[in-house]
Amino acid sequence: MSFAFDAYVTAALFDRSGQALFALGDGTVRLEDGSSHPAHGGAVLCACPHPSGQGILTGGDDGRLVWTTAEGCQELALVKGRWIEAVAANPESKLYAFGAGKELIVRDAADAAFSRSFTHERSVADLAFDPKGRRIATATYGGAWLWYARIAEQKPVILKWAGSHVALAWSPDGKFLMSAMQENQLHGWRVADDKNLKMGGYPAKVKSLAFLAKGQMLATSGANGAVVWPFAGATGPLGKQAAEIGFDQSTMVARVAAAVNGQKVAGGLEDGRVWVCDLATQKIDMLKADKGPPITALAMSPDAKRLAWGDEDGGAGVAEI
């Protein structure tokens, strides 16, 4: 199934029902059933599934946080004069959070009166809840800041590493926090003791991170193939070598996607193609063989049976794996 949306695809996601949703640069959210919802007055800058599993949350350059389902759009927050560039949610705690400038705001989907606000020294680039949704990490200049999501007055734990941090992922066991940087490198911390994990050698920026195999592996973009790091054991990837899946000298992997409990990893390429690989067999299937604009969004359904993608010119698709 393919689509032509005529707008940059910011995100492709699956909700709990298994339906694919696309958040676009023209401010709309499109569903795979063909319906379109006008979520924002400007571009959608970020998106994630709603903690209920129904529909998606989107942040825009209009300062609005919007919840879109098949029924329509609902504004959850408005921050005048600022962009909402990062959003995260956790189904276990029912919390969702968004970043606007230097501020992190946490809300509870089950309690409309609940709100927490945390201020940073520099702008917040990305957010990630730990697996239980109790702590939230923010990516900012100089490292990552950790907050207890429900506690009002607190000092954050600051995991320091020089440079600009732009994308975060917690390991499914909550032991490691991984960060993609503005430089061509991946960094991480073992949260219990702040142990640094320096993971360089990338030829390009790492824009996309995905844990799989129940947290035993981490796949990233930023190379000619998907880079897969081993995370088994107490030390994670320390002292271990990464593997590269789907190496192609002619292009780079722009996005990766995986199901956290699955053995499959997908790659969306700078030349517009999309593949999926079963790590058990090492077999690569090209789900989109036609070349085109760079892939900007990629998502695998939680049951690892479907893949959705979008590109910078508005082309998008959904395929069975």
- Would you list the domain boundaries of the chain? 205-321
Q: What is the pTM of this model?
A: 0.95
What local confidence, expressed as pLDDT, does residue 305 receive? 94
pLDDT at 129 over 90: yes
Across 201-228, average pLDDT = 95
Q: Is the pLDDT of residue 160 over 90?
A: yes
- Taking 90 as the threshold, does the pLDDT of residue 136 lie above it? yes
- The first and second tokens of residue 73, run together, are 């759009």
Contacts of 34 (CB under 8 A, 6+ apart): none
Which residues does residue 136 pair with via DSSP β-bridges, in sequence order? 129, 147
Contact 274, 307 (CB under 8 A): yes
Work out the average pLDDT over 110-137: 96
pLDDT of 19: 93
d(CA 190, CA 253): 26
pLDDT for position 246:
93
Mean pLDDT of all residues belonging to the chain: 95
Give the whole-angstrom CA distance, residue 140 versus residue 180.
Answer: 11
Q: What's the CA gap between 304 and 58, in Å, rounded?
A: 23
* CA pair distance 209, 46, nearest whole angstrom: 15
User: What is the structure's pLDDT at 198?
Assistant: 85
From residue 54, how far is each of 15, 21, 136 by CA, in Å? 6, 11, 22
Biggest distance spanned by C-alpha atoms of the chain: 53
Mean pLDDT to the nearest integer, 244-265 = 95
What span, in angstroms and rounded, lies between the C-alpha atoms of 108 and 295? 33
Query: Which pLDDT score is estimated for 233?
Result: 82
Q: pLDDT band at residue 244, thresholds of 50, 70 and 90?
A: very high
pLDDT of residue 264: 96
Q: What is the pLDDT of residue 200?
A: 82
Q: Residue 15's pLDDT is what?
A: 92
Number of other residues whose CB lies within 10 A of the CB of residue 207: 17
Query: The tokens of 54 are what?
Result: 């129904």
Q: Which pLDDT band holds residue 10 (cuts at 50, 70, 90)?
A: very high
- At residue 240, does pLDDT exceed 90? no
- pLDDT band at residue 206, thresholds of 50, 70 and 90? very high
Encode pLDDT of 281-313 as tens digits.
989 999 999 999 999 999 999 999 999 999 999
Mean pLDDT of 151-179: 95
pLDDT value for 234: 79
Quick one: how far is CA 245 from the chain centroid? 20
Classify domain 205-321 at the CATH superfamily level: YVTN repeat-like/Quinoprotein amine dehydrogenase (2.130.10.10)
Q: Which long-range contacts (CB under 8 A, 24 or more apart) does 119-122 make?
A: 120/145
d(CA 308, CA 61): 24
Q: What is the mean pLDDT of residues 3-27?
A: 96
| % of the chain with per-residue pLDDT over 90 | 93
- Compute the distance between CA of residue 83 and CA of residue 99 in angstroms, rounded to an integer: 8
Which of these, 100, 38, 93, lies nearest to 66 by C-alpha position? 38
Q: What is the Cα–Cα distance from 237 to 221, expressed in whole angstroms?
A: 17
Q: Which two tokens stand for residue 176?
A: 């490691």
Question: What share of the chain in percent tops pLDDT 70?
Answer: 100
Tell me 59's DSSP state: E
Average confidence (pLDDT) over 39-58: 96
| Span 87-108, average pLDDT | 97
Per-residue pLDDT, averaged over 195-217, amounts to 92
Backbone φ and ψ of 37, nearest 5°: -125, 125
Q: What's the rounded Cα separation, in Å, for the pair 115 and 63? A: 17
Please provide the DSSP assignment of 207-271 as one string.
Answer: --EEEEGGGTEEEE-SSSSEEEEE--STTTTTT-PPEEES--TT--EEEEEE-TTSSEEEEEETT
